[in-house]
Amino acid sequence: MRPAFRIAALLPALLCAARAEDLPVETYEETLARMPAWLAERAPRAAAKAFSVDPARVRFLDLAPFANRSYGDTVAGDGKGGWTDQGENHLRHAPWGPTDCNGVPFDFIRPDQNDDRACVMLRSKHLPDLPDAVRGIAAGCKAEALYFLHAGAWVEKDAEGFRYVVHYADGASETAPMVGGVDFGDWWIDTRRAGLARTTRYHTGWANSESKGFHVLRWENPHPEKTIATIDIESACGETIPIIEAITAELPDESPFALRRLKLRGWGGAKPERHDGALEIVLPDASRDWCGANLDLPEPAPFPAEDPAACDLVFEANGGRTPLGVVGPGGQRFQVAARFRLEDGTEKSGPYVHPTIEGDRIDEDPATWQTVRLPVRLLLPKNAPSPVSSLSGLNLQYRMLSSDRAALRVRSIRLEPSAAR
């Protein structure tokens, strides 16, 4: 019995060895050839940025004439120093010039060319000798949105710390109050916020190696058709020290895919809304399976290649709100169909297609966006009476509702030459 037992115990190992011998032996050259693809599959994926602003459509507002504070300080509480007058507790290693801050270009002031004045700080109970406002920051442009790079010290939560007053060329104005913990945070950035469901409107913009820096907030301009003449910044003169580093104006997008120009129609209980620079397809409790939204373009979008089949439809997607107000649940399942203008002037829709999503699914992190890419050849209508000339609309349809009914967010819709070609 003992020899038989030993043979039975060895059988799995012998079988594995036999199977291993049957496997083809890879040469050194073959291993080397497949190494780049192997490494690419396992490389960490860079997180998408909170915003996606086209650098060709921005204007930097010049804050240098209004800057009144340096980044550094030497003696705490002497009333003569820079930053927040806390000595060594100051900001280090800030960049100079145009800098990408979480997807938004900002122009950092060069203190060496501005009498060591690097940012705007306003009066608070902690620094009562600072001005209570700066006025007349020149804009002179139309803007879809304004992006503010700012922060605070001794931030008073849920209280207005300061406000921006936007003056239009026609004499009208809009006021944007900035509430602590909602529209901006402390310059000591709380890294524990990363990856959590957000209840705030701002995102980390730039931070140094000590996690100190500025936040970025997008302010949707309610009058993009008007020219912004000037902007004022006013302190609430409370506990919070307002700190403003830069302002960027996003010029109006006149492309067919511009979010403000799209005609939105929801169906099946879905409600499309424009929210924070993205399209959000909201699902109330009454939403049904197979609901969605139609996006009608203001004019047909031409293809960037002569052959429509050589193009891709590309956009970025993210998880949105649930009916309970939770932000960021992922896993949304959706399909896309396109409507095309034909050369004979008629329109025809193609089939619904399940898209390829970066990372295979929309994740649960509201701070990241996944790239969605769809070959146009899959979206083209079957048996069209004439060739396709342009794209005239899109339909986004939930394929299966999740139990939490989380919204789908979409931004940066565009046509690109096919990546496969």
Phi-psi region of 316 (alpha: psi -120 to 50; beta: other; left: phi over 0): beta
Residue type, 1: M
* Between 361 and 217, the higher pLDDT residue: 217
List, by residue range, all CATH 2.60.120.430 domains of the chain.
259-417
pLDDT tens string 73-125: 888 888 887 999 999 999 999 999 999 999 999 999 999 999 999 999 999 99
Please report the DSSP string for 65-125 in residue order. GG--B-S--SSTTSSS-STTS-TT-S------EEEEETTEEEEE--GGGTTT--BEE---S
**From the candidate CATH numbers 1.20.120, 3.40.50, 3.40.1360, 2.60.120, the one assigned to the domain spanning 55-250:** 2.60.120
b/e per residue, 247-263, with b = 16+ CB within 10 A? bbbbbbeeebbebeebe
The whole-angstrom separation of Cα 398 and Cα 4 is 61
What is 259-417's CATH number? 2.60.120.430
pLDDT tens string 268-311: 999 999 988 899 999 998 888 889 999 999 999 999 999 999 99
- Residue 198's pLDDT is 57
b/e per residue, 87-109, with b = 16+ CB within 10 A? eeebbeebeeeebebbbbbbbbb
| CA R_g for the chain | 27
- The contacts found for 276-279 with CB under 8 angstroms, 24 or more apart, are 276/201, 276/218, 276/220, 277/51, 277/52, 277/145, 277/218, 277/220, 277/411, 278/318, 278/409, 278/410, 278/411, 279/409, 279/410, 279/411
The whole-angstrom separation of Cα 99 and Cα 53 is 13
pLDDT tens string 118-169: 999 999 999 999 999 999 999 999 999 999 999 999 999 999 999 999 999 9
pLDDT tier at 24 (50, 70, 90 boundaries)?
Answer: low
Global pTM reads: 0.78
> Would you state the structure tokens that stand for residue 339, as one six-digit string?
């409507």
pLDDT tens string 375-402: 999 999 999 999 999 999 999 999 888 8
CB-CB contact of 161 with 180 (8 Å): yes
Residue type, 353: V
> Would you state the structure tokens that stand for residue 336, as one six-digit string?
């896309």
The whole-angstrom separation of Cα 159 and Cα 308 is 53
Residue 227 has pLDDT above 90, yes or no: yes
